[in-house]
Amino acid sequence: MADATTAKPAKPSAYAPRNALNAGQLKADIARRSRERGDSDEARAWLVNHFFRHLVSNFEPATPIDSLAAARAILAPALLPEWLERGWQSRESAHAAPLVWIDPACPQLLALETRLLEFLNSRKGTALEGKLARVNCPQALALWAKEHAEMAEKIERGWRQSNPAALAPVLTTANGAFVELLPQSPLLRPEMAFERYVMRHCLGQFADRKALTGGYGGSYADAIESGKMRVFSFRSGENNHQPHITMSVHVGENGSLRVDQVKGKQNRPPVERYVDDLIACLNHLDANADVASQADEIPDDCVIIGVVRIPEGWRRIEDVTDARLQTALVVRHPSLFSRLTQPSPLLEWLIAARAPELFTQHPPQSPALRYALEGGKGEAGRFQTESVPWRGMTAEAAEYHAAHLKANKIKRRRRKKPPLGWSNWLMLVGLFMFGRSLGLPTWALLCCVGCFFFKRAVCPPEGVFSERRAFALALALPKVDAMRQTGFFEPDTPCLDDKTVALFRPAFLHYMECHSTASDDEVRAHLANTLESTWFRADLHNLQAADDPRAALAFASVRMAFFTRNALLMGWIDADAAWRTLLLNAQRAQDCFTGWGDFARAYLQGRAQWVSAFRADPLGSFKEADLYRLLGEDLWKRAPWFGLAAFQPKLIAKR
């Protein structure tokens, strides 16, 4: 036995000690995708082993899980692993491995899998064939990077001439022609080598450059020859000898086509000059495919150049005329947002929830969103709305708001008061005659009557919120009605009773992503730091692919109004912070919907899609019958949708 002082230290593992909350789903998805692609048994076994272990141990981005509440906030109770609650006590140890959740549909994850699959397939005909199990994931990634660096540095000395016999014409466009590399041609591999030489990518990078076998080129050639892949080249010049775009398309078992990669020279995006030619080819392929592919399949290479797929075909995102479809595409692929010159207010609010960093260079057009992105920073300034101070509001920001309202011609309507009624008229006539009998001047009597009408038209009755505040609270009506909550719409309600607090507290803590044992002081501190800077992201920052973003925003607006008012009644936030959030939330709704009916129907759809995806919404249900009943009730009638603007800073004093 070796002496302890001379024993060699243990070799560190390539995989860090970490656990994944959704490890089972990650492994199942890897295996499913591998089967659907038709990977070799060796490649599938490697992915399920090494790639899975790399995801669990090393992959970033990953969401850390530091509490049971955090786990429940990500996964529905039915999806939580059985061991989680049972084994959480043992996790209190300082030596416990970290626990994370990894998005199984994360673009970085799928891109990494594609890179590794390319590496695995390229081992055919090399010394590593049949020995892949000995290579761990970090080693494979290092080899991939090294080989691609070498390919970038080396230029083949020999030149392979393009041969038209290896090509089939597909489509002629304004700037050239698309041709397909013929899978059964004996000149396929030489043509691939030519394409690689000119374009400087790995399509025709063979391990044996003389025999044109092995390496990345061999992997692609095998897929083309077996009918699993089609490769197209966009070329110009005499005999189509000058490539500009290389496009690979996966062929499904049923004949459907899925675009995998669209590359310009040196793996860069195609240049703008040829984007329209590419769109024409993509639509041509769709029209001639045996089976149409799913309209939502858009490769990252196309997203980068602003090309998307809709049911009618491929388009530039700027040319998608259906506002809802454009919104759904941009929300799913936020990088497209920078291509829009006049995004809708709805889209701006959604992007703020999904990718607020996109506004760093291009501020939003919505004044309320501009203020919200600042998070209510700074001291209470000279601007307020109905005694609610706007912190950090500058004169320039207020002027921008006023100019925005004028430029967009947003018409506001004051709600109509109900008629006086005969009793009120008789009372006024009686008082007028009584005043005349006392010898009071007519002008004084008319002034009194005028004051009566002015107060009735402008000042809300005692015990009722102003029109603007009533509108902000009215957004929460579906939840208030479902919970049969009293006092929500009355300004003299001091606080919630103990029974209501006990009912709401667990749901609100979950909503805020707070620990279930958090104290009131901890909740106040948490909300003071996060509410005004992140309220517009709640329920929207992690939308699922099938979600209608507009419906999701209506659902989020109702929940935010309901939560903020009740958080104020529970003493968790101060009145100014609460009303700033409520008014901004109301302005968001005014920006994005056309009226109470439009908003309520969107909320109904939003709640349905929320619960159908196993996401929790324990505080009250909402059905179509409730929608029409509430639309006919007094509260929504007394709060006109385009009455007063919810966000309307007014100068109160000059310094």
Please give, one letter per residue, the 3-state secondary structure of 563-599: HHHHHHHCCCCCHHHHHHHHHHHHHHHHHHCCCHHHH
Q: Which of 105, 96, 91 is nearest to 25 (CA)?
A: 105
DSSP code for 51: I
E-state strands within 192-278: 206-208, 213-214, 229-236, 242-251, 257-263
What DSSP designation does 341 have?
Answer: S
Q: What are the helix (H) ranges across 264-366?
A: 275-288, 300-304, 323-332, 345-354
pLDDT value of residue 220:
94
What pLDDT is attached to residue 9? Answer: 47
Q: DSSP 3-state assignment of 298?
A: coil
pLDDT at 212: 86
Domain layout of the chain by residue ranges: 19-153, 164-320, 345-407, 422-458, 467-642
pLDDT on residue 457: 46
C-alpha distances out from residue 15 to 11, 12, 58, 116, 426, Å: 12, 9, 6, 16, 87
Token output for 404: 């925005």
Q: pLDDT tens across 619-642, in order? A: 888 888 888 888 877 678 778 898
Q: How many residues does the chain have?
A: 655
At 379, the amino acid letter reads E
Q: What is the pLDDT of residue 414?
A: 46
- Please write the tens of the pLDDT for every residue from 292-310: 555 567 999 999 999 999 9
Q: How far apart are CA 618 and CA 67, in angstroms?
A: 21
User: Quick one: pLDDT at residue 259?
Assistant: 93
Strands (DSSP E) found in 386-447: 388-391
- In this prediction, the residues of the chain whose per-residue pLDDT falls under 50 are 1-10, 94, 155-158, 413-418, 420, 454-459, 655
Tell me the CA end-to-end span of the chain in Å, nearest whole number. 84
* Residues 70, 76, 81, 84, CA torsion sign: positive
The whole-model pTM stands at: 0.72
Which amino acid is it at 60? E
Domain 164-320: assigned CATH number:
3.40.630
Residue 431: predicted pLDDT: 66
